[in-house]
């Protein structure tokens, strides 16, 4: 298999992550806030609990995307992490795969996965949770 095929297969769990980000607030709203009459309390409780679960999932999936899947691809195609220079790093790699593996290795340099997870939480996870929670609350109030 080619590197792009492996990248595609390893990116499939990201779709499940996106679906989970939307399902978590719905599940929490259905299961935990059914007895609360105050709308502000419903919004706050749903958003807070969904955010906690989503932040946890964001850290797990950021680690998966940034470390596990990239390291798997590098190891699968013969990258030597114990090398001292580029010739030792890529001595077991086929010449047609060297440029793609260099891109993957270079993408791992710089900020680490924990900081990427924090950015993903602030700019992606929390806004999705807030929007989903507000849509759920407004749809419920519209039908009552």
pLDDT surpasses 70 at 50? yes
pLDDT reading at 33 higher than 80: no
Which of 82, 63, 80 has the alpha carbon at shortest distance from 17? 63
Show the domain range for 21.
3-143
When divided into structural domains, the chain yields a total of: 1
pLDDT at position 45 over 70:
yes
Here the tokens at position 58 are: 């964001």
Whole-number pLDDT of residue 89: 86
pLDDT band at 86 (very low <50, low <70, confident <90, very high): confident
Predicted pLDDT of residue 88: 86
The helix or strand, by DSSP H or E, that contains position 80, with its residue range, turns out to be none
Distances (CA, A) of 15 to 35, 133, 143: 32, 20, 31
Q: In the prediction, which pLDDT does 58 show? A: 92
CA distances from 79 to 14, 30, 64 (A): 24, 48, 19
CB-based contact 44:133 (threshold 8 Å): no
């Amino acid at each position: 298999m080619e590197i792009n095929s492996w990248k595609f297969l390893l990116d499939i769990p990201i779709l499940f992550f996106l679906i989970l980000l939307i399902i978590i607030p719905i599940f929490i709203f259905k299961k935990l806030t059914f007895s609360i009459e105050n709308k502000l309390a419903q919004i706050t409780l749903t958003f807070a609990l969904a955010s906690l679960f989503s932040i946890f999932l964001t850290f797990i999936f950021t680690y998966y995307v940034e470390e596990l899947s990239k390291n798997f691809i590098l190891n699968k195609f013969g990258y030597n992490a114990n090398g001292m220079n580029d010739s030792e790093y890529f001595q077991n790699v086929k010449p047609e795969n060297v440029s793609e593996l260099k891109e993957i290795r270079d993408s791992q340099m710089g900020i680490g996965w924990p900081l990427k997870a924090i950015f993903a939480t602030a700019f992606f996870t929390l806004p999705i949770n807030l929007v989903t929670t507000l849509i759920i609350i407004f749809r419920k109030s519209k039908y009552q």
